[in-house]
A and B are shown apart, each in its own frame.
Chain A
Amino acid sequence: MSQPWNRLSRRQLLKGLGGASALPLLGAMPSLAIGGQHAGHVVVVGGGFGGATAAKYLKRANPAIKVTLVEPAEVFYTCPFSNLFLGGLRDMRSIAHNYDELRQRYGVDVIHALAEDIDADAHKVRLSTGDTLRYDRLVLSPGVDMRWDALDGYDEAAAEKAPHAWKAGHQTTLLKQQLEAMEDGGTFIIVAPDNPYRCPPGPYERAGMVAHYFKEHKPNSKVLILDAKDNFSKQGLFTAGWQRLYGDRIEWVGLSNDGRVTRVDADNLEVETEFGTRHRADVLNVIPPQKAGWIADRAGVTDSSGWVPVKPDTFESQQVSDIYVVGDATVAAPMPKSGFCANAQAKVVAAAIASSLEQQPAPTAYWANTCYSLVGPNYGISVAGVYRVTDGAIAEVPGAGGVSPADAPDTVRALEAEYAVGWYNAICQDTWGTQV
């Protein structure tokens, strides 16, 4: 399995010699070598955790499948660990990945263009280059888009002044510059959205990383989280960790205490809550409500929620056949919108598509999730889950998963911080394989 090209050669040679295949001889010949013949064309739109994994694992499942990955960016910056960049623990290069290994080792055709439209009836994807790709199966890994109409005053222009930094890259470096330019004694406000949104523990990890930066460089500054909900991921662990490492430097205001922000004044770095309380920030980080990336709308796979309902066993769209959707864009609860889940879903999708192209039933789906968060550089916490399809729906396996123990000693927190780095290295190797 580690040598897909060798396996391809062996199999195709056998096919060519054996004549035992049910397929016509020409179709069974070494298709890639003679050109034009393949086991089906799969187009993957989006080169993040979901899309890049799907492309790689399609090729692992059957190297004779032609796989085209469409992704505008030549370098992909991960949201996971972008909070560590804000905290001063990493540089941007350390969270940058490219597509060389997918091209060179796995034979994926990577096109750096934007998928502009999808004609599901004709099975066609139109690219920003003017080209059109015809697919047998389509994988969408569109990630999330911000709902620019959800918070009064918060649109794309406002995000240049009050960054969301919820897609890694320019927005992340912008927020970091503001953080560094801020004078000591200032307030960093994080506006956190209601569920569902990308990376449930993300805003709270960010609070800790910013507080870490303050502790080292701006000791009189504080972090204020204004939250549109009353509970959040790993809440008890985060709260205890903040207290332990940062004292009162982090304040969290939940929905019931008028934490829900409804209006943003990005020019004055001011926000207003549901009941009219105004808060002024020195650095304002607004994480707005989200929806599936817009190409999902163009494909017709989203529903009125703005997200994508999928068939649990295969992650094929419930609304449009031959289109499979993975990652944050999907309705996959109780699986969270995490890079880990996008990767795990993509493997199930790759196997389901490889099977369907050969008229075979999809394998039984298995997924797991692990989300590590750093409260401080040597203080890690985690949540895990194992998932199956039960009675036609995705369900958590009872008795498994859960969060790190509340009463663990510092040595366990330090170990989990170390494993968080191990996890990041492993999942990025598994997804892109290439460190820029």
Chain B
Amino acid sequence: MGMHLRACFALAVALGAANSAIAETRLDTDALQLEVLAGSCANCHGTDGRMVGAVPALAGRSAEQLEARLLAFKHEENTGATIMDRIAKGYTDEELATLADYFSHLPATAELTP
């Protein structure tokens, strides 16, 4: 699943770059799969991971940094996390990498404040 999602993401980015390809279908099913994978992140990080506040925003951060952090939450002890260590263990390494890619490509507009 993880590999598939990552492929989806690459495809979605490619399609975004080449606008004409999107005309094939009204619904971007690959983007939709990514939205569903990332869906629960928004509940603490805001829509598209752009909420600024006690919980850090995700959008627009480096993919490498996000992936390293997520993998550390999953595999390492004493990361300083209070809850992400419990949540990250529910995803494969590939899924975490896909999520890191996904949020790194979203614009980091800090307009979402409480």
Contacts of A401 in B (CB 8 A): 86-87, 89-90
Chain A interfacial residues counted at CB < 8 A: 63
**B39 CB contacts on chain A under 8 angstroms:** 57, 344, 347-348, 366-367
Say yes or no: B44 contacts A419, CB within 8 Å. Answer: yes
Of A57, A415, A416, A426, which one neighbours B45 at CB under 8 angstroms?
A426
> A355 and B44: CB pair below 8 A?
no
- Contacting pair B36 A429 (CB below 8 A): no
Q: Check if B83 is an interface residue, CB within 8 A of chain A.
A: yes
| Complex Cα spacing A360 to B24, Å | 14
B15-59: which residues lie under 8 A (CB-CB) from chain A?
Answer: 19-20, 22-27, 29, 31-33, 35-37, 39-40, 42-48, 50-51, 53-55
**A1-B48, A2-B48, A20-B24 known; A384-B40 Cβ under 8 A:** no
Task: Give the interface centre of B23, B35, B50, B106 by most chain A CB atoms within 10 Å.
Answer: B23
A268 near B: Cβ within 8 Å?
Answer: no
Nearest A residue to B38 by beta-carbon distance? A366
Partner of B32, one of A354, A397, A421: A354
Q: Are A14 and B43 in contact (CB under 8 A)?
A: no
**Which residues does chain B contribute within 8 Å of A21, judged by CB atoms?**
23-26
Q: Which residues of A contact B87 (CB under 8 A)?
A: 368, 370, 384, 386, 400-401
A347 touches B36 (CB 8 A): yes
The interface stretch among A59-67, A124-132, A232-240, A253-261 is A59-67
Known A360-B27, A422-B54, A429-B46; contact A61-B32, beta-carbon cutoff 8 A: yes
How far does the alpha carbon of A1 sit from the alpha carbon of B40 in the complex, in Å? Answer: 16
| Smallest Cβ-Cβ distance to A11: which chain B residue | B22
Cβ–Cβ < 8 Å partners of B23 in chain A: 11, 14-15, 17-18, 20-21
For B40, give its contact among A14, A61, A367, A421 (CB under 8 Å): A367
B109 interface residue per 8 A CB criterion:
yes
A246 at interface, CB cutoff 8 A: no
Name which residue of chain A comes closest to B33, CB basis: A363
B40 touching A419, Cβ below 8 Å: no
With A343-B43, A365-B36, A366-B39 given, name 16 new contacts (CB 8 A). Answer: A2-B109, A11-B26, A20-B23, A347-B40, A348-B39, A351-B32, A363-B32, A382-B82, A384-B83, A386-B87, A386-B89, A400-B87, A418-B54, A422-B53, A425-B51, A429-B114
Q: How far does the alpha carbon of A429 sit from the alpha carbon of B53 in the complex, in Å?
A: 12
Q: Which residues from A are CB-within-8-Å of B82?
A: 382, 404, 412, 415-416, 419
From known contacts A64-B26, A355-B32, infer whether A430 and B46 are also in contact, taking CB-CB under 8 Å: yes
Docked CA distance A368–B44 (Å): 11
With A and B bound together, what is the CA distance between A382 and B82 in angstroms?
A: 9
A426 and B90 contact, Cβ closer than 8 Å, known pairs A10-B19, A14-B23: no
Interface size of B as a range:
35 or more
Chain B residues positioned under 8 Å from A415 (CB to CB) = 82
Chain B residues with CB under 8 A of A17: 23
Nearest 7 A/B pairs, CB to CB = A386-B90, A400-B90, A422-B54, A368-B40, A425-B114, A422-B55, A347-B39
Contacts of B43 on A, CB cut-off 8 Å? 340, 343-344, 368, 370, 423, 426-427, 430
Say whether A419 contacts B106, CB under 8 Å: no
**A23 within 8 Å of B by Cβ?**
yes
Partner of A366, one of B22, B36, B109, B112: B36
In the complex, chain A residues 1-32 whose Cβ is within 8 Å of any chain B Cβ: 1-2, 10-11, 14-15, 17-18, 20-21, 23, 28
- Bound Cα distance from A343 to B27, whole angstroms: 22
Chain B residue nearest to A343 in the complex (CB): B43
Contact B106 A1 (CB under 8 A): yes
Asked if residues B54 and A364 are in contact (CB atoms below 8 Å), the reply is no
Kindly state whether residue A151 has any CB partner on chain B within 8 Å: no
Q: A21-B23, A363-B36 given as contacts; is B83 within 8 A of A382 (CB)?
A: yes
How distant is the Cα of A57 from the Cα of B91 in the complex, in angstroms? 23
B91 & A62 in contact (Cβ 8 Å cutoff): no
In contact, A397 and B90 (Cβ under 8 angstroms): yes
Question: Given A348-B39, A429-B51, A14–B20 Cβ distance below 8 Å?
Answer: yes
Q: Mark A145-178, 1 if CB is under 8 A from B, else 0.
A: 0000000000000000000000000000000000
